[in-house]
Structure 1
């Protein structure tokens, strides 16, 4: 029997949901196709009226559908099969399963940044299939250039852009198109978790630091000019390249310069615990 777990509504009273429901079956089918073929349980954030929930349930895996709107949650609990648990709650406060799982979310556009930030800090999930605004999907997948948020989490997560989703696929129709963004937790991270804070601080300093092109920015951060030149040659970084132009391997290699003995001395960066 499907059950609806109560959850305390968000503080502050009325909540503006701002969700555009998927009504295009081809897009729904593609979302389900992107879910990996594993026995892991599934979590769907912002389940709405179940357009994606019901097809996910047909995969035969345990599904937890999280929806903040009381009427939608009650309706959903009446139409889903027994392998689905409907939880009424805020996706920004939802407690995920303790074991490994996969996540699906048609992200309410006004919650895109907080949802992504929370997702990156949550343990457990292995793949996230997200419907987000088109430009956000492009930026997070580093299409046309990376953002700081993408660069800061690249060593641990691999993003890719699957396709564009037209505004006509939603009701009510939004003013912009969306995109299907797939995030995979790397089975072999490019950096140890213990270096995460130092690396992210380094990425932020490079993105916001002064200089005419990346090599100049890195030297101004205190790195050895010769080391930077060798790094630039190895990774084909032009003198006028910007932080947005780097890929994940180049970011990790640049950070590695700060962890050399010479880099530690020149940059004065704290050595992370190994």
Structure 2
């Protein structure tokens, strides 16, 4: 699958702070977005789809209000009661404010887009929850820079990405400097865009078996992925044919495989 990724070390622009958005509550791990250019970019990533919007960790509304101006229904989910009260006061009629924990909130089953400025200490559970939920078509997530890079397979695929690749695409949109948040975190962030594939590479009924397969390949013994697959009991002739088709050499590692290569390797032993 072709990938277009930005440079690993792009220039870091100075944040254009919007003074209307104060910093977040430190005890809740809130680093609120205050850079108007980043806000515009996040909103732009969900602008063209005519779907309702769900925003997790809405904070003080830096993203909520611009998304509301798109004219679509918005559900803003926030756990901090002070921020909830603020959102209720400022939200227009197409915004529903819900006080709740984003790890327990259940979005609508109908098609929608999901946006979240992910609290950094909740990154892993939020990502795992997002990929297991139905309904949403696009998820736009602000996460730590290194997490965004890894999930988008910049520099190699991680196990988590490989396990969900047949059903989703992962794309790194851009780097976001730490100065774009208040209070300022210790690391930069990145915008990670996850899209649900309209045509999955594998049936969803295969998910459990496929994910066990990818874990076994990532952690299995062998000198390269071809050797690992053969040791997993896949027919060597089929593995050689698969390797030629996907340009997999003797030293190719699991982290080097594309989404299509993973799906077809699984299909050999299915």
Q: Same fold (TM over 0.5)?
A: yes
Give the superposed CA RMSD. 1.1
C-alpha separation in 1, matches of 2:199 and 2:178: 36
Structure-2 residue corresponding to 1:220: 231
Q: 2:112 aligns with which of 82, 88, 101?
A: 101
Contact 2:58–2:76, Cα closer than 8 Å, also in 1: yes
Mark the structure with the bigger radius of gyration.
1
C-alpha separation in 2, matches of 1:234 and 1:82: 54
Give runs of aligned pairs for residues 56-95 of structure 1, distance below 5 A.
Answer: 56-95=67-106
* Structure 1: gaps (5+ residues): 1-14, 260-274
* Structure 2: gaps (5+ residues): 1-25
- Once the two structures are superposed, residues 187-234 of structure 1 have per-residue CA deviations (whole angstroms, 9 ceiling, x without a partner) of 100001111111111001001111111011111111111211111111
C-alpha separation in 2, matches of 1:109 and 1:32: 20
Contact 2:145–2:189, Cα closer than 8 Å, also in 1: yes
C-alpha separation in 1, matches of 2:252 and 2:90: 53
Matched, 1:258 2:269: yes
Structure-1 residue corresponding to 2:128: 117
Structure-2 residue corresponding to 1:197: 208
C-alpha separation in 2, matches of 1:242 and 1:101: 36
TM-score by length of 1: 0.88
Q: CA deviation at 1:16?
A: 4.4
Matched, 1:158 2:161: no
TM-score by length of 2: 0.89
Structure-1 residue corresponding to 2:15: none
Give 3-state SS (helix, strand or coil) of 1:160's partner: strand
- Once the two structures are superposed, residues 152-179 of structure 1 have per-residue CA deviations (whole angstroms, 9 ceiling, x without a partner) of 0000001101000011101111111100
Structure-2 residue corresponding to 1:10: none
Which stretches of structure 1, 4 residues or more, deviate above 6 A after TM superposition?
none
C-alpha separation in 2, matches of 1:134 and 1:179: 5
